Amino acid sequence: MDTSLFATSWSDNSLYVGLTAFIYITLVILTSLSVLIKRKPIGVSLAWLLLIYALPMAGMVSYYIFGQLNLGKKRKKRRLEMSGLFKTWLADEVTEYRLSDQQISTAVTSIKHFVEFGSQMPMMAGNKLTLLSSTDVILTELADCIEQARHSCYVMFYICSVGGLADDVLNALMRAAHRGVSCKLLFDSVGSHDFFNTSQSQQLRDAGVEVCEALPVGTFRLLFQRQDLRLHRKLVCIDDHVAYTGSMNLVDPAFFKKDKNVGQWVDMMVRCEGPIVQLMKSLFVWDWYLETNIKLPFHKLYEDSFAIAGDQNVQLIPSGPEFGEASIYQVLLIAIYEAKYSLVLTTPYFIPDESLHEALKVAALRGIDVKVILPAKNDSFMVDYASRAFFQELLVAGVKIYKFHGGLLHSKSIVIDENIALLGTVNLDRRSFWLNFEMTMFVDNHFFAEELLQLQMRYLLSSDPLMLEDWQKRSYPQRLLESVMYLFSPLL
């Protein structure tokens, strides 16, 4: 037997070199075809192709791990089952306090229709919303409300971080569980990674609190599901009477990420009472089943539950991969194009795609007073510079950009024409639009919109306007870095 083939070094063996080159080129071509066949937005596809051809091995591995929407077979099966149950419940049980077109302002009709078509979520009458803008007040109120709970405390956050007033909320949950209240916590695996490694996590379980790690990550799981899809919702439902949502995680800003040198995080939450709580609680039931395979009952309307509490019209907009056809991204585009005279937006992360970028420019060019309030310092270097790449064209079009200096402005809010409000967990970036599981409150009430606008104006008082002439004086290295980050903005 001729053993010379095996005695030849690998690098000198033309057969092995040719075979390796063939496999390598084949993988690059197949991966490129996969990118093209998926027909993602052009910017996203081009960004993946750039990464694949610039760094082939890293690019291909990253694409198969992060570039394909794969939630896993078990989750997909549960989602399909829950979707049917959810739609049936909405049609048969959520019949009281639904609003018809004749009962709402004409300014919200198109968005209401779009959300109902895509997710079957109705707009509900009879709600009372209380805006909370102090993080200390929010955490203290959550702890006090949990202390008064009689039946259930359902809690869902992206980040739970121990320390300060956040510990008061966790301790209140343990005491509630001791007195027989059903306490369930659903925290994102990545966002709350540090929490799951603390003693408090086990203490909660020992006290009878059910603690679940949502969308767990791990090397083995890479083979079965995408690992960067995140549960980004913030939701607290206590009994059948009150619920909270907004931008704030379960953290005390005085203790959270102090090493980032961006100041304390500035957030808001809204306390909800009335029929909308029924839908907010149902969203937790949905997410709990997807993560645990345990079905909680959808809550029915009784005389002493989900009762009329005010006069505010509210629609819940859940969004996320495979949740429904209605997305907050499309709702946002509708709102911008239908704005008549003013639009104020606050967000910590601002990386719009081409359509959203163009919509903001067009709004300013047709005379709409468009204000975008962003944090002066950001905790993400790449996001910060990718965001700056959009400023030039927006400023030229007349969009007013403000940089907030009172900490890391984490509030996510939109007020349209001083009459309509959107607030919740969604950032103005592609991750929130297409990858994260999010929730937004759509409010058709002049007085609430005015209250939210006043809070935005308080943010404005602690902000500096970004002037076009000053922005154009930035250095060439800064411009170059912005351009590089811009290329990868579809992947951030």
Residues annotated catalytic, as ranges: 232, 234, 239, 410, 412, 417
Distance CA 438, CA 425 (A): 6
DSSP 294: -
DSSP 255: T
Contact status, residue 274 vs residue 96, Cβ threshold 8 Å: no
Give me Rg for the CA atoms of the chain.
Answer: 24
Helix (H, G, I), strand (E, B) or coil at 402: strand
Distance CA 453, CA 455 (A): 5
Tokens for 235, please give them.
């939701």
β partners of residue 244: 236, 271
Distance CA 428, CA 349 (A): 6
DSSP 272: E
- Alpha helix (H) residue ranges in 293-445: 328-338, 354-365, 381-388, 391-397, 430
Cα first-last separation, the chain = 56
Tokens for 376, please give them.
């002066």
